[in-house]
Structure 1
Amino acid sequence: MTMTHHNRLAWNKKVKDQAAYTKPVSEDIVEKAKRGDWQITMTTTKMVPREWFPASLEGVKVLCLASGGGQQGPILAAAGADVVVVDISEGQLEQDKYVANRDRLSIETIQGDMTDLHFLENETFDLIVHPVSNLFVENILPVWKEAFRVLKPKGTLISGFTNPLLFIFDEEEELKGNLVVKHSVPSSSLTGLTDKEVETYLKSQDTVEFAHTLEDQIQGQMDAGFVIAGFYEDYFGGNRPLDRFINTFMVTKAVKLKDN
Structure 2
Amino acid sequence: MDTYVEHNARAWDSEVEKHTIWTDGCTEEQIEKARRGELDMVLSPFKQVPPSWVGGIKGKKVLALACGGGQQAVLLALAGAEVTLYDISEKQLAQDASYAERLHLEMEFVKGDMRDLSCFADSTFDMIYNPTSTCFIDEVHSMYQHCYRILKRGGRLLTSITNPVLYLFDEKKALRNHLQVKYTIPYSDLKSLGKKELEKRIRKHDTIEFSHTLQDLLGGLTDCGFHITGIYTDTAGCMMIDSYIHDCYLAVRAEKSL
Q: What TM-score do the two structures reach when normalised by structure 1?
A: 0.94
**Secondary structure, in 3 states, of the residue corresponding to 1:132?**
coil
Contact 2:188 2:210 in 1 (8 A): yes
Deviation at 1:105, TM superposition (A): 1.2
1:118-147 residue CA offsets vs partner (Å, 9 max, x unmatched): 111111000011000110001111111111
- Structure-1 separation of matches of 2:16 and 2:209: 17
Contact kept in structure 1, 2:45 and 2:132, CA below 8 Å: no
Amino acid of the structure 1 residue aligned with 2:25: P
Corresponding residue number in structure 2 for 1:41: 42
How far off is 1:115 after superposition? Answer: 0.2
What letter matches 2:161 in structure 1? Answer: F
**Which runs of structure 2 are paired with 1:56-95 in the superposition (5 Å)?**
56-95=56-95
Q: Secondary structure in 2 aligned to 1:161?
A: strand
Q: Give, in whole Å, the separation in 2 of the partners of 1:53 and 1:209.
A: 28
| Separation (CA, whole Å) in 1 of partners of 2:191 and 2:180 | 16
CA drift at 1:174: 1.7
Which residue number in structure 2 is paired with residue 19 of structure 1? 20
Q: Which moved more, 1:82-91 or 1:175-184?
A: 175-184
Paired letter, 1:47: Q
Q: What is aligned with 1:175?
A: 175
The 5 Å alignment of 1:193-208 reads 193-208=193-208
Aligned-pair CA distance for 1:244? 1.4
2:188 corresponds in structure 1 to 188
Cα displacement string for residues 56-83 of structure 1 (whole angstroms, at most 9, x for unaligned residues): 3221110010111111111111011000
Task: Give the percent of matched residue pairs that are identical in Structure 1 and Structure 2.
Answer: 40
Match of 1:151 in 2: 151
- Structure 1 vs Structure 2 CA RMSD: 1.4
SS at match of 2:158: strand
Q: 156-165 or 32-41: which moved more? A: 32-41
CA distance in 1 between partners of 2:105 and 2:94 (Å): 14
1:83-138 per-position Cα deviation (integer Å, ceiling 9, x unaligned): 01100001110111111111111111100111001111111000011000110001
Residue type matched to 1:253 in 2?
R
1:97-246 superposed matches below 5 A: 97-237=97-237, 239-246=238-245
Equivalenced residues, count: 256
Q: TM-score, with normalisation over the residues of structure 2?
A: 0.95
* Partner SS state of residue 187, structure 1: coil
Runs of 5+ in structure 1 lacking a partner? Answer: none
Residue 240 of structure 1 deviates from its aligned partner by: 4.2
- Say if 1:27 and 1:103, in contact at 8 Å, map to a contact too: no
SS in 2 for 1:44: coil
CA distance in 2, matches of 1:86, 1:78: 17
